[in-house]
Amino acid sequence: MGCALEMARAGADIILNDRPNSPNLAEAAEQIRALGRICEAVAADAHSREGCEALVAKALEKFGRIDILVSNPAVSIRCDFLDYEPEVFERIVKGTLVAGFHISQLVGRHMVDRGGGGKMVFISSVHADRPYGRSAAYNASKTGLNHMARTIAAELVRHKINVNTIEPGWIDTPGERGTFGDEMIAREEKNLPWGRIGQPQDIGKAAAFLCSDDADYITGAVLKVDGGFVLRDSMVEELLTDPDKQ
């Protein structure tokens, strides 16, 4: 939602997707329309090839062309490695990595066929670089997503299609609230380097930049948007104290 709103603020018309029976899709579409942009809300399973095909078909029916893709399908189910049910592991990989392949291939084919370039942004995670426990499937999926995106960038560069990746840190989403709870987030965000948990609009603004003309010369990049989240283990306490007291 954060990406869709910021893209709309930057002037984009939107095909907005969420899972079937989503309680939030209609409201989100209204917020985008309130910004003066066209928004078509499409309830489809973006984890499946068929769902992605439906999304692309609706976009082409509505607008005739696709200029930008922000790809953010994901499934995160935390579990000890030794206890992972194989079907759960496979569901996470399918919903996080394979789904990104489906939608980007379909959109990429359209962009190449129509000519004129395009923009793709994949939403990855700091989990791609760090082996956080109880997240083997998600970690592996996001690492694969990063490498897939760079490979796509290498293949599509001759078509002037920019392909980049954003790595969010700890972002305040309903999923994170459900996993950690309001109390824990309120307590722990004070200990984050930037002093707060990230907001969806932080990621949206980064996506809007990467899809803008200002990012014309950027492709194959991985942009970390985490408020220093991964720097926590590198911070030396003495550097945070008053220099006059050292």
Catalytic residues: 138
Report the distance separating Cα 206 and Cα 17, nearest Å. Answer: 20
- Taking Cα atoms as reference points, which of 227, 235, 100 lies closest to residue 169? 227
Is 100 within 8 Å of 72 (Cβ atoms)?
Answer: no
Q: Quick one: tokens of 104? A: 């980007």
Is 195 within 8 Å of 125 (Cβ atoms)?
Answer: no
Rounded CA Rg of the chain: 19
Measure CA of the first residue to CA of the last residue in the chain; give whole Å: 45
In the 8-state DSSP scheme, what is residue 171? B
Report the distance separating Cα 175 and Cα 165, nearest Å. Answer: 21
